[in-house]
Chains A and B, each alone.
Chain A
Amino acid sequence: MTNRLRRRRATSVAAALAFLASLAIGVKASEAAELLELKKGDRIIVVGNTLAERMQYFGHFEVLLQSRFSGLDLVFHNLGWSGDEVALRPRQARYQDHGHRLEDEKPDVVLAAFGFNESFAGPAGLPRFRHDLENFLRETSSTKYNGRSAPKLVLLSPIAQEDLKNPHLNDGKKNNENIKLYVDAMAAVARKQGVLFIDLFHPTQELYRSSKGPLTINGIHLNNEGYRQLAEILDRALFGPRPASVKADMSALLAAVEEKDWQYFHDVRAVNGCYIYGGRKSPFGVINFPAEFARLRKMVEIRERRIWEIAKGNSVPAAIDDSKAGDFVKVATNYKQPIHITTPEEERKTFTLAEGYQINLYASEVEFPAIENPVAMTFDAKGRMWVTTMSSYPMYLPGQKPKDKVLILNDADGDGKADTCKVFADGLHIPTGLELGDGGVYVSQMPNLMFLKDTNGDEVADERSLLLHGFDTADSHHAMHAFTWDPGGALYWQEGTFHYTQVETPYGPRRCNEAGVFRWEPRTWKFDIFVSYRFNNPWGHYIDPWGQNFIADASDGANYFGTAFSGQVVYPQKHSPMKQFFEKQWRPTCGCELVSSRHFPHETQGDYLLNNDIGFQGILRYHVKEDGSGFSGTPVEPLLRSSDPNFRPVALQFGPDGALYVVDWFNPLIGHMQHSLRDPNRDHTHGRIWRITYPSRPLLSRPRVAGASVPELLDLLKSYEDRTRYWARRELRDRPDQEVMSALEKWVGGLETTHSEYWHHVLEALWLHQSLDHVDAGLLNKVLTCPEPHARAAATRVLCYWRDRIPGPLELLRKQVADPHPRVRLEAIRALSFFDGADVPKAQEIALESLVQPQDDYLEYTLNETTKTLDQRAKESPRP
């Protein structure tokens, strides 16, 4: 409260001086350097980190540039890439063949924005940074990329981190100290090499002081207003004061720039690179993609000419004419078998269920034509199903606008069939995953994580923001899927191999090569690689009632006990091969869920359900039992099997009535590699949702989540069903913190200590603290030392994520590695891998102590992995 007041006072003072301040910035920035001269037809290419990359979504700088230099017909291409450093720019295989190297882009001017990610190496990283930067500047300013002359190079410093006065985010003080060191180094190196350097650090610091509202989304990445202001700074610094007037209609120009950037983005960050220019371009991709990208590049040129016309003040037709952009190559199918698109009723008859179960159609394209290739689902607080569809899969066709959607399906009368289908968001491209939360919808829009929000209550998204960047797109079905919340309020998703992902965070860049599981705390903006493992394409993640992770790899059908390999590794290392928790029977799989529904028979509770899509098409089932520090599974009779070759179960979840819902992507062709991505027999218009019940047992009454009071929601945390607790936790995040925290205190005080689930209830309280980012050392200690081993194990995980805010975390872990229960020890050994710097020797010593206790496979495995990480950190200071 006091913080907020103080800030308001400070900003109002600053606001009064805003005009003066901005003048001062202009002078300051431009006096450091000579002005940049441009010639007619110059090609300006932007490279660098997320600061550069996000410029394409907020085209203000190009607008200023094109309007100022109308008549010069400038080409402005953005190659910015999340996480890039001057000397570290991992890309998917053969990206260099795609036509966007500097040699291909032939720049006359290069704008290079680096230094932010590098700055997290701190003072120790400076010598290496200087060295790398010198090489980069030398090479870039001397290479004749266009074959005639070397480009003019402009080096852009990082911006400062903004203090958003958000108690969950870092204030940026320490980061800014480091950034300043790097900015100074950049200035010095640039001066020495005679390269034009623009300091954006000091001007943005000034801006933050003077701005009324926030200029960044998370302290480090500018928002729309931030880019608008940055554009002015950059424009003035490079070219001097603005001309008195320009001819362009500035809003039309912005729209034209953003349209061009949208098209260019779909070229430079084309999804499915593997099939376009990578290892799988033959034999199919080589047939159609050259023409598609020739057309797309022509379309970009057409839009550039449009920009130039608007810049000159000329009028342009409302519609863009792409009729001369070139034609596509017609692709013939290689799928010669007869295709029979079954009706939902025909398909239903192909199902064989285990004894006692029944299946019915919940929704299909017949009643709701929008259900085209549904892929991911979740239930909202009202018990409605949210589904993403991807009719544009495997990728949209250049020139068209993708029309993938987020749908809301509602079964208002509870008869097990959806009554309505509402389009919440349209115009998406391959939304492989989604999850609700924090008042909106997180949805994958590779290479970005998008947040959709309905701000006026009409249940249509009217706000779209890109929160995280840098998720690779080499193979569209390997990207950003299997979203799930953990009970402590972190959001997880996964990606498959071939991908090289780099994400910038206020805590430094995080990188993952070739498959992994991600973990993100939206409140703190802490993003990490939860599992860095050589998966093929993990597509399934379930978290059990005690917070233990089960992860399914789709392509090879492997299933893993996730805790054991979720310790940290030092990039680019991966975890070593780990055993599967049961011997796989089939592949490929897609989606897993544990049975947690009193509607299903008693003996199936806790069974692991697994969709399988080729050969065996149905739902496999495994008994899961505790096995030392981990789990093991044994196959039992499958729940469902279909003889319809079109049936493709890709997601499954228990719903509010206790029935199991199965998303059927429905497609005769499934192979990504076996047919052309453009094979005309790929289906784009069908999709079904199935519902499995056990009629001899009653359905559950739907829990009231939406509209429930906070105490009612807290009581839902005592529910038997995992999914009910899941929805209650998610809902509680949206309620006012203060209200939740005070109700929670009462709730915990009122819990029956003799209740058999008492410690699970207390654990839920601890998780809620974690979810709301309210660190409570007392409560943590209570659960760490409680009599219930599963709760102690879960609390050890919480300790891991609170290690920077709890006194003496290593001493606490010393107790946990000696715990009588192997799962607690496993969590503790895992947690030790998160320590670095001066803590490493002690963490190593504690890890070794775990050997005094009985061992099993997972304990030995995790100890090895933790030891490897700590040994490496002891040896070298890691790249962040």
Chain B
Amino acid sequence: MIRMKKIMPKVAIPRMFLRAAVVGALIGLPRLHGQEPTTDSPMVKLLKSGRLPADRQGTVIEMIGRRGTAADLDYIESRALDPAAPVPTRARALDAMAEAATTRGVVPSKDRDRLAELLTVPSTPGSTVLLDPAIRLAGAWRLRSASERLRAIASTPQLGETTRDAAIEALAQIGGPEGRRAINALSGRRSPIPIRIAAIAALTRLDPEAAANAAVSLLPEAVEAHADVTPMIEAFVTRRGGGALLAKAIERRPPTTDAARLALRAAYSLSQADPTLIEALGKVAGIATEVRAPSPAELAAMVSEVAARGNPARGEAVFRRKDLNCLTCHAIAHAGGEIGPDLSAVGQTSPVDYLIHSVLLPDQSIKEQYHTMVVLTSDGQVYQGILVDKDDRRVILRESTGALRTIPVDTIEDQKPGGSLMPKGLVNLMTHGEFIDLIRFLSELGKPGPYAIRTVPTIQRWQVLTAVPADLAGEVPRSEVLREQVLRAGPDRWATVYARVSGALPLNEAAALSGGSKVLYLRGEIDVTVAGEAQVRPQYPDGIRFWIDEVDAPLGTAEFTTIVSVGRHPIVVRVDTSSRKEDSLRIEIVKPEGSKAEFTVVGGR
């Protein structure tokens, strides 16, 4: 299975109600059946009547995807294939047909092979508005005739990862000799590493044994290429018996220590723990992987050790470590992921023994909104996630990545309550001392003192410009340059970095994401609901310049007040680390006395 922005129509739930992209893979296909068209249904009649403005047709098209007959689908298929129809309408029609095929097994009665017309590399780069849904539909229909085109799409780097992964996912769904041939080609040595990783992940569903061997061969190369193998490891873990097969392959042909470590780290980042695989990787990597509940005496000893020796500042550094992924799911002071509970006040309510248990054995105590469900499908996939929605057609789970997975009810072989989404065994990536520090840090959160919930808001979630062009590094930009090169820089040019609980952003962490640049461009954001004055207060103003929108704050100012209108406003900070003494950046945003403004500092992932 392929992680991330994945495949799958978003139709299951009206899009606007869920922020995360709706994804999911086709998990085995219910039997497909077409029907002879009869008279138009009320939905098709409404579409044809001309009473609906163009921008509202999509709603009815989505509805047809959820409840329409094959005859209804014939009509929206004709719309999807009609080059004269508006592109958004065509895209929604494609997604609606995928929804119908996936969750209900209903497909148009004719012309399905014509979908291939849409599976061409678009002439304008970056425009995959029709291509992506067409790829997903080809997978949902298991359209064998599309295999070769999908392979070509997957190997076209300029189309981007989303499109590439969608194409590989579709090939996995298509399967058969055609799908297998295409995936073999993509996973072969001639392909770039990221494509191979995605293709091997897909191969786990067609031939897990072959996939296991391919994975073992790939691992050392992935180390060299600094590639993330998590999607591949996850594909084995979510395949019934897949983890064991990979474990066997590893025992047969042990990879290098580093390769095993890379894979082990990936295995530890997943919500489903595969003990066999983890043990096998641990042996090669030389890392102990056993996790057991502490005895009451051990627990008591740890509790006193936390009080006596635990250092919360060091613990925070452990919490922020990339390999532990804490911040991927947990926010503190509204900065961080939203998959697990916000930990801002966890120390106030949770005693130390409870925190130790929660980190060591995440399954033991789970807040109500974080209970998961484990679903086994008829084609051997095992999914775990928080139940989002369920009806007589499909189940939707929120997985540990935040992605939504739609599973047709017809394909569910077994389901049971699962534990927590939190990875188990993270403690094995820490030293004992680090663990004690981490618990100490958590136990301080929300208590009076340096880790209390602050009344003065600071920017906690920062974006850092990942590559700073020479002219921006060289001098303070004029407003046109700022607008063009910074404010309008696309989302792929920024990386997220979080301030510490204190509000201080470690500049070295930001610099690491900026290719080691000496000059950094950082962006925070405020959301204003009532206009008025807001004041920006950098704690140490040396070496920095900042702007609210395009309004330039005077050099060296420690308090800059400006009037903000309703809406979101970026605050951009240029930091010249070479002329700054402080190794961190802390910026408060407050309401000056007498101001009517109401705003919040934007946080989140």
A: which residues have CB within 8 A of B? 93, 279-280, 282-283, 334-337, 496-498, 534, 536-537, 555-556, 573-574, 576-579, 585, 587, 614-616, 623, 634-637, 641, 643, 645, 670-671, 673-675, 844-845, 848, 851-852, 854-855, 857, 860-861, 864, 867-868, 871-872
A555 lies within 8 A of B349 (CB): no
Contact for A860 among B14, B351, B529, CB less than 8 A: B14
Q: A534-B387, A576-B391, A579-B17 are in contact. List 9 more A-B contacts (CB 8 A).
A: A280-B365, A336-B303, A337-B447, A534-B389, A536-B367, A848-B42, A848-B46, A851-B46, A867-B67
Q: In the complex, what residue of chain A is closest to B19 when comparing beta carbons? A: A579
Contact for A614 among B349, B366, B591, CB less than 8 A: B349
- Complexed CA–CA distance, A845 and B51 (Å): 15
Contact for A283 among B66, B357, B598, CB less than 8 A: B357
B56 lies within 8 A of A855 (CB): yes
Could you say which of B1-9, B94-102, B340-348, B514-522 contacts chain A? B340-348
Q: In the complex, what residue of chain B is closest to A854 when comparing beta carbons? A: B56
The smallest beta-carbon distance between A596 and chain B, in angstroms, is 21
**Contacts A334-B353, A851-B52; A579 near B368 (Cβ below 8 A):** no
Q: Interface digits, B372-414 against A, CB 8 Å rule (1 contact, 0 not)?
A: 0000000000000001111110000000000000000000000
B417 lies within 8 A of A93 (CB): yes
Q: In the complex, what residue of chain A is closest to B391 when comparing beta carbons? A: A573
Enumerate chain A residues within 8 angstroms of B67, measured Cβ to Cβ: 867, 871
The smallest beta-carbon distance between B339 and chain A, in angstroms, is 13
A-B interface, 6 closest residue pairs, ranked by CB to CB distance from nearest = A615-B345, A634-B529, A334-B351, A536-B368, A636-B598, A576-B389
> Is B63 interfacial (CB 8 A cutoff)?
yes
A579 lies within 8 A of B16 (CB): yes
> Is B13 interfacial (CB 8 A cutoff)?
yes
The smallest beta-carbon distance between A389 and chain B, in angstroms, is 23
- Complexed CA–CA distance, A280 and B42 (Å): 50
Main secondary structure of the interface of A (DSSP, over half): loop
> Is B415 interfacial (CB 8 A cutoff)?
no
Enumerate chain B residues within 8 angstroms of A867, measured Cβ to Cβ: 63, 66-67
- Complexed CA–CA distance, A615 and B18 (Å): 26
Q: Interface digits, B64-100 against A, CB 8 Å rule (1 contact, 0 not)?
A: 0011000000000000000000000000000000000
- Complexed CA–CA distance, A555 and B447 (Å): 20
- Complexed CA–CA distance, A336 and B308 (Å): 14
> Is B354 interfacial (CB 8 A cutoff)?
yes
B354 lies within 8 A of A334 (CB): yes
The smallest beta-carbon distance between A769 and chain B, in angstroms, is 36
Q: In the complex, what residue of chain A is closest to B529 when comparing beta carbons? A: A634
- Complexed CA–CA distance, A261 and B70 (Å): 59
Enumerate chain B residues within 8 angstroms of A635, measured Cβ to Cβ: 529, 598, 600
13 A-B contacts, Cβ less than 8 Å apart? A279-B417, A334-B353, A336-B352, A555-B367, A576-B389, A577-B13, A577-B17, A674-B354, A675-B351, A844-B42, A851-B60, A855-B59, A857-B14
- Complexed CA–CA distance, A181 and B83 (Å): 61
> Is B43 interfacial (CB 8 A cutoff)?
yes
B: which residues have CB within 8 A of A? 13-14, 16-18, 42-43, 46, 51-52, 56, 59-60, 63, 66-67, 303, 307, 342, 344-345, 348-354, 357, 364-369, 371, 387-392, 417, 446-448, 453, 455, 529-530, 591, 598, 600
- Complexed CA–CA distance, A641 and B342 (Å): 20
Enumerate chain B residues within 8 angstroms of A861, measured Cβ to Cβ: 14, 17
- Complexed CA–CA distance, A860 and B55 (Å): 13
- Complexed CA–CA distance, A860 and B67 (Å): 15
Counted as pairs of residues, one from A and one from B, with CB atoms less than 8 Å apart, the total is 123
Q: In the complex, what residue of chain A is closest to B43 when comparing beta carbons? A: A848
B13 lies within 8 A of A576 (CB): yes
A852 lies within 8 A of B17 (CB): no
Enumerate chain B residues within 8 angstroms of A336, measured Cβ to Cβ: 303, 307, 351-352
Q: In the complex, what residue of chain A is closest to B349 when comparing beta carbons? A: A671
B351 lies within 8 A of A616 (CB): no
Q: In the complex, what residue of chain B is closest to A645 when comparing beta carbons? A: B348
Enumerate chain B residues within 8 angstroms of A854, measured Cβ to Cβ: 56
A623 lies within 8 A of B352 (CB): no
Enumerate chain B residues within 8 angstroms of A860, measured Cβ to Cβ: 14, 16, 59
Enumerate chain A residues within 8 angstroms of B417, measured Cβ to Cβ: 93, 279
Enumerate chain B residues within 8 angstroms of A536, measured Cβ to Cβ: 367-369
- Complexed CA–CA distance, A283 and B355 (Å): 12
The smallest beta-carbon distance between B398 and chain A, in angstroms, is 10
- Complexed CA–CA distance, A857 and B14 (Å): 8
B453 lies within 8 A of A555 (CB): no
Q: In the complex, what residue of chain B is closest to A352 when comparing beta carbons? A: B455
Q: In the complex, what residue of chain A is closest to B18 when comparing beta carbons? A: A577
A851 lies within 8 A of B59 (CB): yes
- Complexed CA–CA distance, A578 and B367 (Å): 20
- Complexed CA–CA distance, A636 and B364 (Å): 38
- Complexed CA–CA distance, A363 and B29 (Å): 64
B14 lies within 8 A of A851 (CB): no
Q: In the complex, what residue of chain A is closest to B60 when comparing beta carbons? A: A851
- Complexed CA–CA distance, A496 and B367 (Å): 12
A555 lies within 8 A of B368 (CB): yes
The smallest beta-carbon distance between B370 and chain A, in angstroms, is 10
Q: In the complex, what residue of chain B is closest to A558 when comparing beta carbons? A: B369
- Complexed CA–CA distance, A867 and B63 (Å): 9
B13 lies within 8 A of A498 (CB): no
B387 lies within 8 A of A614 (CB): no
The smallest beta-carbon distance between B323 and chain A, in angstroms, is 28
Enumerate chain B residues within 8 angstroms of A283, measured Cβ to Cβ: 357, 364-365
Contact for A615 among B344, B354, B371, CB less than 8 A: B344
Q: In the complex, what residue of chain A is closest to B393 when comparing beta carbons? A: A868
A497 lies within 8 A of B368 (CB): yes
Contact for B530 among A636, A670, A864, CB less than 8 A: A636
Q: In the complex, what residue of chain B is closest to A638 when comparing beta carbons? A: B455
The smallest beta-carbon distance between A169 and chain B, in angstroms, is 34
The smallest beta-carbon distance between B442 and chain A, in angstroms, is 12
Enumerate chain A residues within 8 angstroms of B367, measured Cβ to Cβ: 536, 555, 673
- Complexed CA–CA distance, A337 and B351 (Å): 8
Enumerate chain B residues within 8 angstroms of A578, measured Cβ to Cβ: 17
- Complexed CA–CA distance, A860 and B11 (Å): 12
A615 lies within 8 A of B453 (CB): yes
- Complexed CA–CA distance, A587 and B338 (Å): 13
Enumerate chain A residues within 8 angstroms of B446, measured Cβ to Cβ: 614-615
Q: In the complex, what residue of chain B is closest to A582 when comparing beta carbons? A: B529
Contact for A637 among B350, B392, B598, CB less than 8 A: B598
- Complexed CA–CA distance, A854 and B52 (Å): 9
- Complexed CA–CA distance, A863 and B387 (Å): 22
- Complexed CA–CA distance, A634 and B16 (Å): 18
B16 lies within 8 A of A670 (CB): no
Q: In the complex, what residue of chain A is closest to B45 when comparing beta carbons? A: A848
Enumerate chain B residues within 8 angstroms of A675, measured Cβ to Cβ: 351, 354
Enumerate chain A residues within 8 angstroms of B56, measured Cβ to Cβ: 851, 854-855
B392 lies within 8 A of A872 (CB): yes
The smallest beta-carbon distance between A668 and chain B, in angstroms, is 10
B368 lies within 8 A of A587 (CB): no
- Complexed CA–CA distance, A229 and B66 (Å): 55
Enumerate chain B residues within 8 angstroms of A844, measured Cβ to Cβ: 42
- Complexed CA–CA distance, A695 and B352 (Å): 44
Contact for B598 among A496, A577, A634, CB less than 8 A: A634
- Complexed CA–CA distance, A682 and B16 (Å): 43
Enumerate chain A residues within 8 angstroms of B344, measured Cβ to Cβ: 615
